[in-house]
Structures are given as structure tokens and as C-alpha cells.
Structure 1
């Protein structure tokens, strides 16, 4: 969001991770006179800001959905590695279904093993010892949960900014309607007095 705020609208705005904070406008008349804007320009600025917030919200929601899908996958991987470690040395084989490609599964019989292969992404798979895999997966799980917490806080901050901006737009619009009515009543009164 690189759009600069109109002068006089509070250059001391704070932000959260690149999301600019919306400033609540207490007095529209004072705001417009200090910023040097007319009501149409102020409305256009705040509507543009609102659209920017909506774009950022869509991106954050997509990231949130990705993380919410990733966390259960990591937890399942941890369970599988723990099961493999628990069965190690018992001579008991583990029957498992694994996904070969999207929607295609194969069955495997896994006997005692000291290592597992993990997908790292970008068509890369690496073999890890069970202990290394557990450590890596736990670290990935902690990072994913921490990222999700930050995203949830970002989304809440963003929703607050959307609300403030919507209220600001409504206040400027209502102020403009009121001013137009005052001008209309005044011009009608002047015309009536002249005739």
C-alpha cells in the first residue's frame, strides 16, 4: 500500500507489518480544511484505501487457509514418524497408504526403518533419520502455528482498519449530503426573498 495519505490527515499514522492504520476522522469539516481536499477527493482517497485493504485481506486469508491446511499435514507426518519409531525393533510391519500423486494412493508394507523421506517442496525429497525428521517436523509445526497467530492478528488489525475506513467514508458522504441540503435550502430561501 504505497498510496500516500492526503496532507493533514495525520502523517503520524501507525502500521502493522506494512498495513497502514486508518485514522478516525472526528470532524469532517476540520479534516477537509486541514487536508485541502474537497469531499469528492476525500471520498475517492478513502475508497481507494478501502480497496487496498480488501486486496490485502484476500491475500492474508489465502495465506491463512494454506497454513490451516499445512498444520494438520505436519501433525500427520509427526504421527507417522512416531509410529515408525514405536514399532522399530518389534518386528511388526506397518501397513500404510500413501499418496503417489493427486488422488492416487498406493499401499506399502514398512518394516523396521531408521529413516524416512520428507518432501521439502519444489519436487525435492530428502531422507532423514527418524530423530532428524521429528526435530524438523516439530520445528516446522511451531513455525506454522506462530505464523498463523501473526496472520490472525494481522487480519484482526486489518478488519479494524476496514471498519474505521467505512465509517470515515460514511461520515464524509453524510457531511457532503448535509452541506448540499444546506446550500439548497439557503438558495431557495434567497430566491423566495428576492421574489
Structure 2
């Protein structure tokens, strides 16, 4: 008998079926062992492709979170220095690997890169709110991504176990046929 995993899919990732009885599984799908193995190998490859995409997204988010935190720290520093008359001397990245030095006095606003070559000016308070929201969203997305990766790893494991079970069942069936053929010849 074949039973499905507790979830049928998670965010487009199909759940793998745990196979308790290989013969019933093959008859339900109307497949022979070789066709089932080919299907399972293909599914395993699909899981691997999705895993690579999710890992790339995870790396991107893990790089993005410290950048957002750094921006929040800079805005907080600017707000803390506001009204003190004290200037801040800072090096900032103009382009990848190109930095400029700036002397900032009484900053009322900051400019934030939003992506796609778009920069907008915000008050320090608005920038803090926006960056906090972006940080929360990035952390929440990372949590979901980690859960998706765990679900995917579980499906890979289930599929690998199923492949092994179908293969072993097929080997056992061949041996039974071989034994039956050799006893009928005697």
C-alpha cells in the first residue's frame, strides 16, 4: 500500500509518496519496475534543481539581511547625531569597489537604493520604518525558505528510499523467477 506524506505539496514542491508495498505501488501506477525507477529518478532530479534554486535564494537573503542591518545602524547613527552639531565623516560605497568620503552634518534625510537603479530620498524616520519592514520581511522569507528546504530534503530522502525499495523488490522478483525457472528445468 502507498501512503502519501502528510502534505501533498509545499509551495509548488510535490510531496513524495512513501511506499510500503512496492507491488501495490507499481500496480496502482500501472508501471513496471524500470519505468517506476525512471520516474523516481526524474523526480529526484527535479528535487535537486529546486534545491539549487532555493539554496541560491537562501544565500541572497543571508547576504541581504546584514546589509539592511548595516543601513539601519547608519540611519540610527545619523539620527543620534542630529541636533548635536557634530559632523560624521563616513566612507560610503558609490559603486562596487568604489568608495567616497563624506562629511555629514545635520542629516534630515537619507537616500536608499530600492533596486533596479532606483534611489529614493526618505526622512530618517521613514527610512528606519522602511528598513525595519524590509528586515522583518527578509527574515520571514528566510524562515520560510529554510522550512521549504527541510521539506524538500525530506522528499529527497523519501524518494531515495523508494528508489532503493523498488530496486531491491525488482532484484528479489528476478531471483524468484530465476529460481522458479531453474527448478522447472530440473
TM-score bracket, normalised by the shorter chain, equals: over 0.9
Cross-structure match for 1:188: 182
Tell me, yes or no, if the aligned pair for 2:47 and 2:152 is still in contact at 8 Å.
yes
Cross-structure match for 1:99: 93
Instruction: Describe the SS at the equivalent of 2:102.
Output: strand
CA RMSD of aligned residues (A): 1.5
Q: Is structure 2 residue 73 aligned with structure 1 residue 79? A: yes
* CA distance in structure 2 between the partners assigned to 1:154 and 1:16 by the alignment: 7
CA 1:52–1:121 in structure 2 vs 1: closer, same or farther (change >3 Å)?
same
Cross-structure match for 2:169: 175
Cross-structure match for 2:108: 114
Query: Hey, which of these two has a bigger chunk of strand by percent?
Result: 2
* CA distance in structure 2 between the partners assigned to 1:132 and 1:34 by the alignment: 59
Gap runs ≥5 in structure 1: 1-7
Q: Is structure 2 residue 39 aligned with structure 1 residue 35? A: no
* CA distance in structure 2 between the partners assigned to 1:13 and 1:84 by the alignment: 48
| Cα distance, 1:151 vs structure 2 | 0.4
Tell me, yes or no, if the aligned pair for 1:9 and 1:31 is still in contact at 8 Å.
no
Deviation digits for residues 168-188 of structure 1, max 9, x if unmatched? 000000111111111112212
Cross-structure match for 1:163: 157
* CA distance in structure 1 between the partners assigned to 2:7 and 2:177 by the alignment: 34
Instruction: Describe the SS at the equivalent of 2:17.
Output: coil
Deviation digits for residues 91-139 of structure 1, max 9, x if unmatched? 1111111111111111111111100000000111110000000000000
Deviation digits for residues 39-70 of structure 1, max 9, x if unmatched? 01111111111111111111111111100000
Q: Is structure 2 residue 13 aligned with structure 1 residue 14? A: no
CA 1:13–1:183 in structure 2 vs 1: closer, same or farther (change >3 Å)?
farther
CA 1:183–1:13 in structure 2 vs 1: closer, same or farther (change >3 Å)?
farther
Cross-structure match for 1:125: 119
Tell me, yes or no, if the aligned pair for 2:3 and 2:20 is still in contact at 8 Å.
no
* CA distance in structure 1 between the partners assigned to 2:29 and 2:128 by the alignment: 57
Gap runs ≥5 in structure 2: none
